[in-house]
Structure 1
């Protein structure tokens, strides 16, 4: 046997020089490891900050909108030449001409046909619908004059927001020098006003960026998540409790556990194909409806809720069960009165993760037709609807500059929706949390 000879260090007789050198290297390696971890966290936070900053920088302007305030003459000759006040006649009147005439009255010197067309292009296509709604709601407006605010067309709104560079050659931008001069004149005389963009939250989708809103997507997401929550939470918690507390340990339950773990890793689009084949084709359920989307998302989030629920049940100390059984409680009473309340915070964590995943999913909903162009707000679980992620997907595919800012604004709204939902879940988790 070879004897290991080393010299003890002065002041530390239990440490040799070799031991001290190795200990120093271990401490140095530990410090490097901590530095690497902190650097990784710093890089991740920096990337997240850059991502959020880019989204906010592109999207915050969408929360403001320039409107064109004009005095409109509700000309009876255009609206109701017969004077019958027939609703059909009022509905089919040429309200677009009223809006154009109101703008042309501000620029009486514009006479050529091409100039008049370029001037009236600054009014949004929604002006005619706004005037028709006003007249249908109050026919007494016919023959009067009233100041009305119309949405400014997207290109000119982007010009005033600085997203269209005035200094580039005229041939390289959508807005001509003459139109810029008209816009500046309208701004100087107070005909263009800037305010909060309520249309972003009160309108449905539109082909015109200045009129496009998130109302249909927000309501559709809310209805879809209600169906998802109503199905995934009770089924997921019940399955977790049964598998962990009551199911016998045999090959069948082992097979079920393996399949649940495998389903958690299945791509989300597979669940969309399942929904298309079963719920739409086989069961003939309504296409693009929140009820179908909610069922598909519930199936997708069930594995996550079941796995996290079982982990939360396992974390409850066995002494809780033994004490309850010792005082005469039945197995069902042990679970419902003692184990489940203590495991609820961990289960809510899984629910938060599952709902966050469901809120941001797009692929399975595309397969069941929720990519439809939805203008009207859904009023029920069976109506055609869209959701915020699909709305973002559709707007991101649009080439207009106005949809670029609205895409980023929709992402901000989606993040706010997600944060609010998670905050509610965290508060509930704190209410159920117990320490021992």
Structure 2
């Protein structure tokens, strides 16, 4: 009996060595699968980010044209400068650069089309702000229209057959003449952040969408944070353990897995249908996102409360503290880092949601940034949806750039959550 047992566990025995090799092969295979999965995940991530950067980096610069504009008094009403014929002023300005086309209206229209449609409004705003410019010649820098912007960035190949590109040979020659004169520049496109939306790609920006998302997240936070923490504290610390509390807990866990489009339908039916709130406003968007974020905050808060050792509660109760004093004076402060982490992650998830906001109408074309949460606005995800659906070629790069901006906000919020967790988390 002893000999059989010792032979069975003899490390030099062939059977044991074969079993050991098999176990090591299985372990190596499992490690290889795990490493392969990580490599594939990072490769897909780099492919995604790389494709966004390769497409979107063009939108972070904008082609501008530096021209000397004469604000002719006969084209501007000094008493109402906003009614001036600034389009004709631009036409006259381009005519001075190409005097050979003075009598060719079609050629003049081609030259004027080099400038963005917003150039005339830039001149108007300058004169409205300073009427003393009337009669003077001022050097102005204005964006060019989208086709010429793409030409300058190499997105339109001049070697392509003329019938297969947006610009004709003479139009390209006119732009190249301006570039050779040193009138063309490509500065950083701050308008991508500071401009509201526009139907013209060279003028379109994310200002309205960023402010709209900020208002929606603010409303979401103000509602979901106190309500979520209060519900979690009651369920974890005060609620009796019975079938009712178990049913509530099960439903909260189920709500966390419900598709976001369902919350959009709920917001559409309740806030807009029943309460008659306006569509396409950040306030309603924030209420809808709060409904979606509440289960996440409740679950994260309960997990943070459970992580506090029972000895903290027992010690506080042992010195005569009430249940309320134990929870709010000892347990909640210790659980707050985990609560904040879960809240920030929930808000980051809400920031990237599109379906609920589409259903409540936050995909309208809004050309001005909202001043309050009750003004019509879009949000970053819905703005991306609008631009992706646009037929204009210039919105392709702006869509990728907007996605990069959204990812930057999401990464920043997650980084803040990690920092708070590492800085304030207590190890037990």
Q: Which category of TM-score, normalised to the shorter sequence, fits these structures? A: over 0.9
Partner of 2:236: 244
Structure 2 counterparts to residues 367-386 of structure 1, below 5 A = 367-386=359-378
Could you say what secondary structure the match of 1:380 adopts?
coil
State yes or no: 1:142 paired with 2:139: no
Structure 2: distance between partners of 1:121 and 1:58: 25
Structure 2: distance between partners of 1:421 and 1:100: 48
Partner of 1:56: 53
TM-score, normalization by structure 2:
0.96
Partner of 1:428: 420
Partner of 1:348: 340
Partner of 1:337: 329
- Per-residue CA shift, 1:48-107, capped at 9, x if unaligned? 011001101111111111111111110111112xxxx322xx222211111121112101
Partner of 2:394: 402
- The answer to which of 56-65 and 346-355 deviates more is 346-355
Could you say what secondary structure the match of 1:196 adopts?
coil
Structure 1: distance between partners of 2:32 and 2:112: 62
1:40–1:354 distance in 2 versus 1, CA, 3 Å: same
Residue 3 of structure 1 deviates from its aligned partner by 12
Could you say what secondary structure the match of 2:100 adopts?
coil
1:359–1:4 distance in 2 versus 1, CA, 3 Å: farther
Partner of 2:216: 224
Residue 420 of structure 1 deviates from its aligned partner by 2.2
Contact in 2 for aligned 1:7/1:16 (Cα 8 Å): no
CA RMSD of aligned residues (A): 1.9
Could you say what secondary structure the match of 1:8 adopts?
helix
Runs of 4+ in 1 over 6 A off after TM superposition: none
- The answer to which of 263-272 and 16-25 deviates more is 16-25
Contact in 2 for aligned 1:8/1:15 (Cα 8 Å): no
Could you say what secondary structure the match of 1:158 adopts?
helix
Residue 338 of structure 1 deviates from its aligned partner by 2.0
Match of 2:86 among 90, 95, 100: 95
Partner of 2:300: 308
Structure 1: distance between partners of 2:177 and 2:234: 72
Residue 176 of structure 1 deviates from its aligned partner by 0.7
Structure 2: distance between partners of 1:190 and 1:178: 19
1:318–1:20 distance in 2 versus 1, CA, 3 Å: farther
State yes or no: 1:286 paired with 2:278: yes
Could you say what secondary structure the match of 1:21 adopts?
helix
Partner of 1:27: 24
Structure 2: distance between partners of 1:98 and 1:434: 68
Count of residue correspondences: 427
Partner of 1:8: 7
Contact in 2 for aligned 1:8/1:17 (Cα 8 Å): no
- The answer to which of 29-38 and 335-344 deviates more is 335-344
TM-score, normalization by structure 1:
0.94
Contact in 1 for aligned 2:197/2:365 (Cα 8 Å): yes
Partner of 2:79: 86
Structure 2: distance between partners of 1:4 and 1:351: 63
Residue 240 of structure 1 deviates from its aligned partner by 1.0
Contact in 2 for aligned 1:7/1:17 (Cα 8 Å): no
- The answer to which of 339-348 and 242-251 deviates more is 339-348
